[in-house]
Amino acid sequence: MTKLCVLGLGYIGLPTALLFANNGIDVVGVDINERVVNTLKECRMPFEEKGFQELLDGAYEKKSFKASTKIEDADIFLVAVPTPFDAELRMADLKYVVSACEMIAPHLKKDNLVIVESTIPPKTCEKRVKRILEKSKLKASQDFYISHCPERAIPGNTLHEMVNNDRVIGGLDETATELTRDLYSSFVKGNLYLTTSTSAEMIKLMENTYRDVNIALANELSMLAEEYSINIWEAIDIANKHPRVDIHRPGPGVGGHCIAIDPWFLTENVNDSSLITLARNINDSMPIHVLKKVKELVNGIENPVITVFGVAYKGDIADTRATPALKFIKLAEKEGYTVKIYDPFVKDFDYPILSLEEAVDGSDCIVVLTDHSEFREMEPDILYHTMKNPNVVDSKNILSVQERSNSKLI
């Protein structure tokens, strides 16, 4: 049986490892976090999402998966570690990818395949990964093979998307590409598109950059719509009836580990990327714009108390990575506002998460920053009877209780 060693057991690496383990591959999952490894050894998932625990149970039943803090010899190595963003330099920080490759090099043997799933800037496989792995004294594309197969999955629907979405596979050479295709075809039902490693690296970044630029356009249109007293949500809905128009939804900014970060990976080594940079700056500025709407509503109120609805970066998940809510909260505190937070999904955050009753009691303004479906179903009396002033800034156009409040959409 083919043996696969997966380095990085996070939101992408672990489900990927378990999918392979449930489809005929012998998998050892490696992570430096002992808590994660020990939790998995107890046959418990270190984080929750639909279908994950069942996948882990199936892998243990097949005896095809084990978790460890130490790398082992294998036929295939898969790197699925995080790629942090260096905000000061606006560059990808490749320290974890580099560390993973350095761990693999002493275990590399002839005919091994090394796959990088981590999101990386173009040319990383060709220039950085190859050089590190060749410290093994083996030659890439001659003695062993390197490819890039970026993930295409969204939190909250990870397993479905991992299995059913199309994937792009790019190797340093044709053999690497074909070997990787053969591996992923064990569980991927979507199409597998074959290209070069550099193209695959760029395609992943292009996909998220497209979304970031489109959201920036929607955000700029929303600010223009305010000047003309136009309902931007209705305007976008009607504009999108055009067969060649697909404007995204405006909001308080973008978050997560992809859309808010990947555009910088694409532009870090080029001189002219003014459109992408402008889009990033627009989206990063949206918490300031939301706060402006709050200021208009609480003007004249002494010591305003505001309630943030949702700190997850998207609806119906608990993920707060790069959430624009954090910037908004810090800006609001600088204004001297007392900030209370309610989020039905998030348990751990930089600020306390209160119950709905505690968060709304005595509030002068509710600020919706996340489109959790629970907010859509709320009854007016749940909110307004304990508020001091019934003001609402709904940056996601999701509350159905605005008719009894002073409300603003971004």
The answer to whether the beta carbons of residues 248 and 214 sit under 8 Å apart is yes
* DSSP state at residue 352: P
* DSSP state at residue 139: P
Q: Residue 273, Cβ neighbours under 10 Å: how many?
A: 17
The three-class DSSP label of residue 327 is helix
Beta bridge partners of 26: 3
Nearest one of 38, 35, 39, 40 to 17, comparing CA atoms: 40
Amino acid at 75: D
Integer Rg of the chain from CA: 23
* DSSP state at residue 404: G
Which listed residue (258, 293, 365, 408) is catalytic? 258
343: CB partners within 8 A, 6+ apart: 309, 310, 311, 312, 349, 353, 370, 372
Beta strand residue intervals within 75-127, DSSP E: 76-79, 85-86, 91-92, 113-116
Which listed residue (125, 149, 204, 408) is catalytic? 204
- Asked if 408 is an active-site residue, the reply is no
302: CB partners within 8 A, 6+ apart: none
Place of tokens 């002493």: 106
Q: Which helix (H) or strand (E) holds 394?
A: strand 391-394
- Asked if 204 is an active-site residue, the reply is yes
Residue positions counted in the chain: 410
135: CB partners within 8 A, 6+ apart: 102, 105
Active-site amino acid positions: 204, 258
